Amino acid sequence: MPESNRLLEPILDWYAGNARDLPWRAPGASPWSILVSEIMLQQTPVVRVLPVWTEWMERWPTPASLARESPGEAVRHWGRLGYPRRALNLHACARAITERHGGEVPTGHDALLALPGVGEYTAAAVASFAFKGRHAVLDTNVRRVLARAVSGQEYPPKATTPPERRLAASLLPDADRAPVWAVAVMELGALVCTARAARCADCPISDLCAWRLAGKPAHDGPARRGQTYAGTDRQCRGRLLAVLRQAHGAVPKDALDVVWDDAPQRERALDGLVTDGLAEVLDDGTYRLPG
DNA sequence: CAAGCGTGGGC
DNA sequence: TGCCCAAGCTT
């Protein structure tokens, strides 16, 4: 028997009084709406997801309704959420679900994992939140809470490690409480145990937290990230795709050329968009979202 | 497996 | 102001 989880009750109690009222957590939220929310939330803050998710749910309330559209429509209505390949992934999910799963989001972790754009985290999240399965749900929030509370480190490793998975698995409560435990730890990381300026005064497990008890030592080791954005291919792709999104119909190449000066980089980025299925070249040399 | 992939907001 | 970060996935 694993040692009992002393974090469980304080975190569940805290969640009961502090959970945000997010629409994909409503009792009637469909598995599809939860899957859409999880893909949209990958690397993207809740406040930016909310309006897009709402529009998508009105427009495409079921996998079948999205599957009937062209992939380009998904990209267009993705707006400025970022990482637009996720729109293609969701469109491909919709088609896979209608073709292989009778139009219903699959309930099992493995079947979810086989869907495009669904990785270890998203499969566990949907299996847990939509179908009330018992899974360790390890997102950046949970990893940070466990790193601090249990391991005494300010930040988790850059990539998820086997010890982290073992720890998360060992903390899983019984099947009845596993889903709420998963969402509660995530919420604690999102609202209290934040990456910067952790609000330890509001934390329900501050008296158990190894990191706080150690005096909140600063992260040792190299700086964790260093990605500039200005001038990158990513920025260029974003500019080009914005033109295609806002135009309805084909766009002459001139209209793309004007948004980025560096021609070789622009061509490379445009080729990349086509390769990735985010844009199409027509016979007359014009460009558009994928049809 | 490290790198690439968007975008906007907070400090 | 620039840097860091936000419910990751894929190759």
| Length A124 CA → C9 C1' (Å) | 14
Please give the C-alpha separations between residue A76 and each of A79, A248, A290, in angstroms, as whole numbers. Answer: 6, 9, 10
| Length A284 CA → C6 C1' (Å) | 40
Contact at 8 Å (CB) between A171 and A182?
no
Domain boundaries, given as residue ranges, for chain A:
30-129, 140-213, 233-284
Q: Which residue is nearest to nucleotide C8 (CA to C1')?
A: A42
pLDDT reading at A222 higher than 90: no
| pLDDT tens profile A257-266 | 999 999 999 9
Chain A residues 225-264 with Cβ under 7 Å of strand B are 227, 229, 232-235, 237-239, 241-242
A108 touches strand C (CB under 7 A): no
* pLDDT value for A221: 63
Q: In sequence order, what are the residues at sequence separation of 6 or more whose Cβ sits closer than 8 angstroms to the Cβ of residue A93? A: A35, A39, A63, A115, A116, A117, A118
| pLDDT tens profile A239-255 | 999 999 999 889 999 99
Name the CATH superfamily, with its identifier, for domain A30-129: Hypothetical protein; domain 2 (1.10.340.30)
Q: In sequence order, what are the residues at sequence separation of 6 or more whose Cβ sits closer than 8 angstroms to the Cβ of residue A40? A: A49, A52, A53, A81, A86
| pLDDT tens profile A54-102 | 999 999 999 999 999 999 999 999 999 999 999 999 999 999 999 999 9
* Average predicted confidence (pLDDT) for chain A: 96
Range A140-213 has CATH code 1.10.1670.10: yes
| pLDDT tens profile A126-149 | 999 999 999 999 999 999 999 999
Say which residue, A235 or A248, is predicted with more confidence: A235
